[in-house]
A and B are shown apart, each in its own frame.
Chain A
Amino acid sequence: MIRKTRPHITQNEPLLFEISSPGKKGYQLPELDVPAVNASDALGAANVRDGIEGFPEVSEVEAIRHFTRLSTWNYAIDLGLYPLGSCTMKYNPRVNELVARLDGLAWAHPYQPEELSQGAMEIMARLESALEEITGMDAVTLQPAAGAHGELTGILLIRAALEAGGNPRKKILVPDSAHGTNPATVTMAGYVVENIQSNDRGMVDLETLERVVDADVAALMLTNPNTLGVFEAHIVEAADILHAKGALLYMDGANMNALMGIARPGDFGVDVMHLNLHKTFSTPHGGGGPGAGPVAVKKHLEPFLPTPRLKRAANRWAFDYDRPRSLGRVRAFHGNFGVLVRALAYILACGGEGLKAVTMDAVLNATYLRKLLEPYFDLPKSAPSMHEVVFGDDRQAKLGARNVDIAKRLIDYGFHPYTVSFPMIVHGAMMIEPTETESKRELDLFADAMISIAREIETDPKQVASAPHLTRTSRVDEVTAARKPVVRWRPGATPAD
């Protein structure tokens, strides 16, 4: 039975271009206090454009209705559980939004004098040191703009360090359970990917590792807890095997939400890792960005971190650009500062104890859902769960509904689906990460929904296989979208229905 939702009216809304009419305005500029300049005279007629063809012209009230109506077609954390595995969709505290918009921070220009940037630099320094303490690493760069960007920075660091030692080596080992960014990153950093199989518990197998690590291996790229939500029990031994052969251990910190105050990568052999501030540290995903992907390293990699670095001199913060061994810059300016502000606000609000409580509740929530759902869904890998749990769809698939169908049916029940078909080492994977910011009531509603869908599949699998039924948009024809891509509006295009 569907307990969380009831249908209601939603507004239709055409595209901006379809509500546009020449001469409508949503702006008014102040009167010029200097003489107007004729563009053709100043720039040369050839440099001046005609009007921007097709650009919209709408009034302010139409603009706000337009975006407000569109917004009601979205699901969001603010509406409920968003259990995307490995995405850590936790509540985004609103005070973070407020502080990031304070004039002195939001209007700070990256090239304004350092003496007028001390507040911003202090925020960066404090965040760096908090992240060092949480991860047990020695130094942090805040420059990378996102998780994947942090990965690239981390692998380039490894490359720079090994190169300084005379041999960058050739390969990076990536477990078969890894996120797709890992192999893509390796290629961008000029390395070759060697995939290694995980064992039947979903972990890196030490014997395999011992066999494949040779003088060509630069590093192992590992997610811990891994994408099954399982802690790599032999992480210390794995690090030893790598280090003994001159290779490094890179940790994808996507799942740091399971470790805060419990275990620190710096204490279990990790040389370099990235963090996703938009996951563990609560900065909003915003429909897909912005994020931030700081990289934390052990001391031996510090000289290679991107330029500039913060340094303390004469009781003031300064940027140090004189870093001869640095790998260079990975982004202009100082990274996604606005995201850094939000993350620090979160860390300050939680404090050390609070961060540990976050992790404990995150693991409690995942374990709780696992217990409630285990009788109804296959659990192919049975090691204890940390912050997420991965079920397989074999039992339901035999009856005619796959993981993707259950996901779509969950939408009718008022929930965003889990991560579908990842990791690939579980057949028909349903990867569920509730995060700590879900109440028992919301978790119970979700478990009820999953169980109810499992029962529907036993009696009427077609109902599930054709879901969702209650949304304003039903299943979208993604095949036609890919075969004949239409990625922009054009004058005379088909109007809305």
Chain B
Amino acid sequence: MYPDNFRYTKEHEWVMVDGDTGTIGITDHAQSELGDIVYIDMPKAGTIVEKGKTLGSVESVKAVSDVYAPVSGEVIEVNQKLAGGPELLNQDPHGAAWLVKIRLSTPDEVGQLLTAGEYQEYLGAQD
């Protein structure tokens, strides 16, 4: 369920690092808690984001959930596929429905994030 090559946050974001680029999304757990996602608000390419600060938000019919940046850096790409079909985030949160790509400014931050095993343990403890 939770890919081993991703790192996770307790706020239910994931990041997959490839060189100096981090692809960011929200976890399957997050999408299922929100239910049917109707709107996704992400910053424009070029925006500088800081680890732990609000990156954007994801909305269901009756809830809004902030998405926090798991790592710092500059947004270099926003997933255009989500604009027309936010339901993709319910269907494939760890794949096609990534949110943004970031050029990491502080690659060391990644090490502080949870591994897949730690994240699943954290989810287990929440129930």
Contacts and interface: CB of A to CB of B under 8 A. Distances in A.
Interface of A: 478-479, 482-483
Contacts of A478: 61
B38 interface: yes
A108 to B, nearest CB: 42
Interface string B28-71: 00000000101100000000000000000001010000000000
B25 to A, nearest CB: 19
Interface string B79-90: 000000011000
B66 to A, nearest CB: 15
Contacts of B59: 482
Task: Provide the main secondary structure of the chain A interface.
Answer: helix
Interface of B: 36, 38-39, 59, 61, 86-87
A478 B38 CA distance: 10
Contacts of A479: 36, 38, 61
Given A482-B38, A482-B61, 6 more contacts: A478-B61, A479-B61, A482-B39, A482-B59, A483-B38, A483-B39
A17 to B, nearest CB: 27
B74 to A, nearest CB: 29
A478 B60 CA distance: 10
A478 B39 CA distance: 13
A121 to B, nearest CB: 44
Closest 8 CB pairs of A and B: A482-B38, A479-B36, A483-B38, A478-B61, A482-B61, A479-B61, A479-B38, A483-B86
B90 to A, nearest CB: 10
Contacts of B87: 483
Contacts of B36: 479
A143 B59 CA distance: 35
A376 B110 CA distance: 50
Contacts of B86: 483
Contacts of B38: 479, 482-483
A82 B91 CA distance: 39
5 contacts: A479-B36, A479-B61, A482-B39, A483-B38, A483-B87
Nearest to A481: B61
B36 to A, nearest CB: 4
A96 B87 CA distance: 49
Nearest to B35: A479
A275 B38 CA distance: 36
| Residue picked from B39, B59, B61, B86, most chain A C-beta under 10 Å | B61
A201 B39 CA distance: 37
Nearest to B59: A482
A479 B39 CA distance: 10
A482 B59 CA distance: 10
Nearest to A420: B62
Contacts of A483: 38-39, 86-87
B31 to A, nearest CB: 14
A478 B59 CA distance: 13
Nearest to B36: A479
B124 to A, nearest CB: 20
A483 B87 CA distance: 9
A75 B36 CA distance: 28
A29 to B, nearest CB: 46
A479 B90 CA distance: 13
A483 B82 CA distance: 11
B72 to A, nearest CB: 24
A279 B59 CA distance: 31
Contacts of B61: 478-479, 482
A482 B60 CA distance: 8
A342 B36 CA distance: 43
B19 to A, nearest CB: 35
B35 to A, nearest CB: 8
B126 to A, nearest CB: 14
Nearest to A482: B38
B85 to A, nearest CB: 8
A464 to B, nearest CB: 19
